[in-house]
A and B are shown apart, each in its own frame.
Chain A
Amino acid sequence: MIRFESVTHRFGPRAVLRSVSFHVPRGQVCGFVGPNGAGKTTAMRLLVTLLPVQEGRVSVGGIDVDEDPLEVRRLVGFMPDAFGVYERVTIEEYLEFFAASFGITAAGRGRKVSEVMDLARIGGLRDRMVSELSKGMRQRLALARTMLHDPALLVLDEPANGLDPRARLEMRDLILELQRIGKTIFLSSHILTELADIVSSVVVLERGVIQCSGALADVAARAGNERTVVVRLLRAPDAPDRALADLVGVRSVELRGDRALAISLDGGDDLVAGVVERLVHAGYGVVSVEPERSDLERVFLRMTQGELQ
């Protein structure tokens, strides 16, 4: 659905994207991650035709964004990280305006507006003035707007930025719902824990260079099996490292608080199962086993140095 081919982009003498190549298959939720200033927003603006491609090629659904930007705009819905809304109109007037601007007929407009309001869960607020909306509600309104012309691809730049925890969870559910109805979603976010729950593929960018891209499982495997799991026990352990001493792949065991162990491993899920078995066998009741970091966080930390451009 999205294809970047050797894309380089400069602002003056400074290259913000350097020979960037990746692709995102149709129907996926792809996380676009990287430190601040990595070039994510620039790449997204190239994708949605708001910036000209200087070198290389960017295409959406096989259409070159530079050769047929109008057709690309039909396929893409874009929600920028910083956006504004018209304050002195109601939610319904706002969406009606954009529906008309997207060329939706007067006959179908009301139904379409209701549809996206329901999808974004703002259907009960149709007569509310936009100026009265909270930040979370504005995010939903912006998302509703991007869906008005039924785009096949949604490009969301930091959609959960500035939202409270509840609004973030709701935004996450909304994105999953959009994926279920067949949309391809390309989103950037700094909140990797939440992104990890919804993305099926990932593109990691740092200093304008792609560090890795592909299906999340493949990228995680490429990043290595080194991981830390936190095991919570029923009671305080007296000598836990002894129970795991001869288990191949266990690198270190560290006590966290009274009843939790941070176990550093170099292995897959079999090794985690072996650790649990050993601990149970040694008489420690295992309450829970959780990875200290998600696969996405591991990939991110492994692949990036957090350097700014």
Chain B
Amino acid sequence: MSDTIEGPAAIASAPPLGGLLDRLAARVLPKDPIVLKELRIALRTPLFVRFLYLSTALGGLVTLVAGAQTALETSPADAGRLVFHAYFCIALLATSLAAPVFGATSIALERETLTLDSLLLTRLSAARIVRGKFVAIALSLALLLVASSPIAAVAFLFGGVGPLEIALSFVAVLLASLPAIAIGMALSSRTASTRVTLLGTLLVWLPVSTLGLLGLWAIGSDLRRLGTDDGPFWFARYLPAHLDDPRVVAALLVAPLFVIGMITWFGLAISTSGLLPATHDRARPFRRWLLAASIVTPVVALLCIWPFTRTPFGDGVENLAEGMLAVTVLPAILGLVGAFALVAEPLVRPRVVQAADRRRHGIVRAFSATFGAGAAPATRFLFVAFGLSAISVTAVYAIVHAIAAGGVELDALLPPLVPLAVCTVSAAFAASLGMAVRATTQSPWLGRGALVAVTVGLVLVLPVFWALATGDDPDDWMRDPMSLGLAWPGISIVAAADAIDGTRRSLAPLVVPFVSYIGLTAILALVTERRAAKATEADRRQRARVLASAEHTSP
């Protein structure tokens, strides 16, 4: 190997310039080779430049016409606000179109133009390639916004809009485009055709962004009584003025940033695993995301709900318990999402992982072998994710509850924890069934099918069937300890809500389905373990046989 080769972390690119200007350029220009390459190609693409001109011109025209028209009829300040909202709506629309397009073409186009293989054979890791492409697309979008920013300044001519509002709105538009880029890249890494990826991404993202914008507008209109105006970017004025209100911080800052961050991370994790060769531990980026999402999401959700449960909205402790009911399904949902992805894990652990484990030390090796790549470790990992998710949200709920109640009140604390446990174990059952079906049939899609079928069955079919068959009201199901209706995870939420209201005293009948789900989950997990062990042993024998015969025949 040449002595000029350095580690991946030190890979950098400096512009071939000299002098003070060059040093400045070297500081400003991106250091990452992927970012630099992507920006070069994007900025030299005629389509990008045309889109830049067109969006700026159209945005400017619409904004100016709307502003001039309004200025004749209303006060200049109102016209300024209209210009502000019009400009940022157009900017959001433009980035909502551009971000998925850039994301969707980023990897699929490399595959289509046959440049991906040479890129994958460099020393850049898949994560680094994905990160570089993501940053480059975000920078391109920021450039689009910056290029059109003089239009936003027109609002200043009329007045009624502050610089902080404009800056916050720019950040919001850019942040809103990040999940679109990540989703586009995720689809792009999984499909061979750019057209399919483009279509898929736009089909997913355009409704999401349109509904998001309308929802934002509706919330703004609803909050008019609290002193905001009607446009969709009302939060840019409202948020800085209400930073002392924890409800505003939770709803307008923490929750949106968390959701954007987790969706973006999810998309990037899927993209990274899509770029990894089949010989690698392809689920690793996703496992990291799932672990973080499982632990943090329910906790953040509970913490965001908490401010809204306090006075003047009624009794704080009771409201908190009801708020917690909404959070009880999150560990189950996240675990099922994880199972859907991890069900494709191979029965035999990839050889690259086995070889890497041999080079590792005790605890790291044991951890990798227990919860790393492969169907059996993936099943164990899912159980850990389910467990940690439930434990973390329980711990935070107990602390918040103790603060709200001024001490620990077990009777009031326990009811929401029962549906949390029931929903989590029933989801774990569905997940382990999917994994067991995959392990038995060797087909990831049959495994996924079983997973989805059982989930739909538990959530929708079971209560409908039971209600139609028995004619019972769900309230009656709790009275018969042998009722199959108790197997419906939703009954635990209904019963817990009653318990919080004081209309129901005991949640004891839910112990039977809870224990049943645990038992079934354990049996299915054992099936996966045995299948994986058999497949691993068969692979070991076959490899030994092949190598032995190769030694005889080798020239």
Contact = CB atoms under 8 A, between A and B. Distances in A.
B547 A51 contact: no
Contact of A84 (B2, B41, B115, B549): B115
Given A6-B546, A103-B10, A67 B351 contact: yes
A50 B352 contact: no
A100 interface: yes
Interface in B119-147: 119-124
Nearest to B278: A52
Contacts of A150: 1-2
Interface stretch (A106-114, A237-245, A300-308): A106-114
Contacts of B33: 97, 100-101
Interface stretch (A86-94, A224-232, A247-255): A86-94
Given A50-B277, A89-B40, A93-B40, A104 B4 contact: yes
A83 B277 contact: no
Contact of A80 (B12, B114, B542): B114
Contacts of A101: 11, 33-34, 119, 122-124
A142 B113 CA distance: 14
B277 A103 contact: no
B11 to A, nearest CB: 5
A85 B11 CA distance: 21
Interface in B532-555: 542-543, 546-547, 549-551, 553-555
A69 interface: yes
Contacts of B37: 86, 89, 93, 97
Contacts of B542: 55
Interface string A172-197: 00000000000000000000000000
Given A23-B555, A56-B550, A83-B118, A67 B352 contact: yes
B55 to A, nearest CB: 21
Contacts of B278: 51-52
A178 to B, nearest CB: 16
A208 to B, nearest CB: 16
Contact of A106 (B12, B41, B549): B12
Most buried by A among B7, B41, B45, B118: B118
B21 interface: no
A73 interface: yes
B352 A68 contact: yes
Given A5-B546, A64-B355, A101-B124, A106 B13 contact: yes
Given A21-B553, A52-B279, A68-B352, A73 B121 contact: yes
B279 A49 contact: yes
Interface string B1-40: 1101111101111101000000000000000011011001
Given A66-B279, A214-B555, A82 B114 contact: yes
B543 A145 contact: no
Contacts of A69: 277, 279-280, 352
Contacts of B124: 101
Interface residues of B, number: 51
Range for the number of chain A residues in contact with chain B:
35 or more
Interface string B23-65: 0000000000110110011001100000000000000000000
B123 A6 contact: no
A174 B120 CA distance: 25
Contacts of A21: 550, 553-554
B108 to A, nearest CB: 13
Contacts of A5: 546-547, 550-551, 554
B299 to A, nearest CB: 37
A74 B123 CA distance: 8
Given A50-B120, A50-B121, A145-B118, A57 B547 contact: yes
A65 B350 CA distance: 12
A104 B122 contact: no
Nearest to B36: A97
A57 B539 CA distance: 13
A78 B10 contact: no
A67 B355 contact: yes
Given A6-B547, A97-B37, A68 B10 contact: no
Nearest to B111: A84
A234 B13 CA distance: 66
Contacts of A6: 546-547, 549-550, 553
A110 B16 contact: yes
A197 B546 CA distance: 35
B121 A78 contact: yes
Given A64-B355, A66-B279, A86 B115 contact: yes
A242 B120 CA distance: 65
A interface, over-half SS: mixed
Given A57-B543, A101-B124, A49 B5 contact: no
A98 B547 contact: no
Interface in A135-157: 142, 145, 149-150
A102 B44 contact: no
Contacts of B10: 103, 105
A202 B543 CA distance: 27
B117 interface: yes
Contact of B2 (A66, A76, A85, A149): A149
A10 to B, nearest CB: 13
Given A57-B547, A68-B352, A83-B118, A102 B555 contact: no
B547 A80 contact: no
A82 B119 CA distance: 14
A29 to B, nearest CB: 18
Contacts of B554: 3, 5, 21, 23
Contacts of A214: 555
Contacts of A28: none
A203 to B, nearest CB: 11
Contact of A108 (B4, B7, B13, B546): B4
Most buried by B among A56, A106, A110: A106
Most buried by B among A5, A23, A65, A103: A103
B11 A103 contact: yes
A198 to B, nearest CB: 21
A88 B45 contact: yes
B188 to A, nearest CB: 16
Most buried by B among A51, A64, A86, A104: A86
Contacts of A93: 37, 40
A279 to B, nearest CB: 40
A74 B1 contact: yes
A150 B4 CA distance: 10
A89 B118 CA distance: 16
Interface in B346-398: 350-352, 354-355
Given A96-B13, A98-B122, A89 B41 contact: yes
A17 interface: no
B22 to A, nearest CB: 13
Contact of B12 (A55, A70, A100): A100
Interface in B176-212: none
Contact of A103 (B7, B350, B549): B7
Contact of B11 (A52, A100, A107, A108): A100
Contacts of A50: 117, 120-121, 277
For the complex of A and B, the 5 pairs showing the least CB-CB separation, nearest first, are A108-B4, A5-B550, A67-B355, A84-B114, A101-B122
17 contacts: A6-B553, A21-B550, A23-B554, A50-B117, A50-B121, A51-B278, A55-B546, A66-B352, A69-B352, A74-B123, A93-B37, A98-B122, A103-B5, A103-B11, A106-B12, A110-B16, A149-B1
Given A50-B117, A102-B122, 6 more contacts: A22-B555, A68-B355, A78-B121, A97-B33, A101-B119, A150-B1
